């Protein structure tokens, strides 16, 4: 079964959002998000799977995110995506979202879980299986400074999880990150509007 990738930008304390949006304005970081989630071999397309709050956090004029199948999860059976585009579809739970992703995306390449906190937590809990989808990779943009202590949404600290005293997640090299995303990525500490951050990739070890 196809692996899933989480993509997220988070502070060192795992803050990811405030007031229904992102805590920072990092245009190059968002370009990286767009490129990493869009890039696919000729004739193929990726899917981005998100919770309803994340869908609503994307400015109306930018959604559905172009050149990607957008799958939005809401448990509300009457939720209206409010778009005429067929590239956005509604699912009512993660399992059906993954089924829809395959059913609705001919030439499906990769599937990304793009948030928010509730969906990250649910996706990370899918147990590794040879036949069922599970998260084996995290594209993390670590926001190094400032702290953004005012964040009102945080992701769980799953990268620090241990089983039998052994870390579940291991950081990959920058070269591995570039090879996987398929384009050149700035390395080390980057700066935009006084915010410093770093592009990282983490892989499930066990």
CB of 130 to ligand FOL, least distance (A): 28
**Would residue 191 show up in a list of annotated catalytic residues for this protein?**
no
**Would residue 203 show up in a list of annotated catalytic residues for this protein?**
no
- Asked whether 151 and 45 are in contact (CB, 8 A), the reply is no
Helix (H, G, I), strand (E, B) or coil at 11: strand
Beta strands (DSSP E) in the chain are 4-11, 15-17, 45-51, 68-73, 88-91, 108-113, 135-145, 153-154, 162-163, 166-167, 169-171, 190-192, 195-204
* Residue nearest ligand FOL (C-beta atom): 34
Among candidate residues 69, 54, 46, 42, the one with its CA nearest the CA of residue 9: 54
* 112 vs 132 by CB, closer to ligand FOL: 112
Q: Indicate which residue of 4, 26, 29, 139 is catalytic.
A: 29
* 127 vs 183 by CB, closer to ligand FOL: 183
CB of 31 to ligand FOL, least distance (A): 4
Residues at the contact surface with ligand FOL, assessed by CB under 6 A = 7-9, 22, 29-31, 33-34, 54, 57-58, 62, 65-66, 114-115, 141
Catalytic residues, by residue number, are 22, 29
């Amino acid at each position: 079964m196809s692996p899933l990738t989480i993509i997220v930008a988070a502070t060192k304390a795992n803050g990811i959002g405030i007031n229904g949006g992102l805590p920072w304005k990092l245009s190059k970081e968002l370009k990286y998000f767009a490129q990493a989630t869009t890039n696919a071999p000729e004739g193929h397309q990726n899917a981005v799977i998100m919770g309803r709050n994340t869908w609503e956090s994307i400015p109306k004029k930018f959604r559905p995110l172009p050149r990607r199948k957008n799958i939005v999860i809401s448990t509300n059976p009457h939720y209206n995506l409010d778009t005429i585009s067929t590239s956005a579809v509604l699912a009512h739970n993660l399992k059906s979202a993954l089924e829809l992703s395959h059913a609705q995306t001919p030439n499906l390449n990769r599937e990304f879980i793009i948030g928010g906190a509730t969906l990250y937590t649910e996706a990370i809990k899918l147990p590794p299986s040879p036949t069922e989808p599970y998260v084996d990779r995290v594209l993390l943009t670590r926001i190094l400074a400032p702290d953004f202590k005012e964040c009102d949404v945080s992701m769980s600290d799953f990268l620090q999880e241990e089983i039998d005293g052994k870390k579940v997640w291991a950081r990959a090299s920058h070269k591995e990150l570039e090879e996987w995303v398929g384009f050149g990525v700035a390395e080390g500490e980057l700066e935009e509007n006084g915010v410093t951050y770093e592009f990282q990739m983490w892989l499930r070890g066990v």
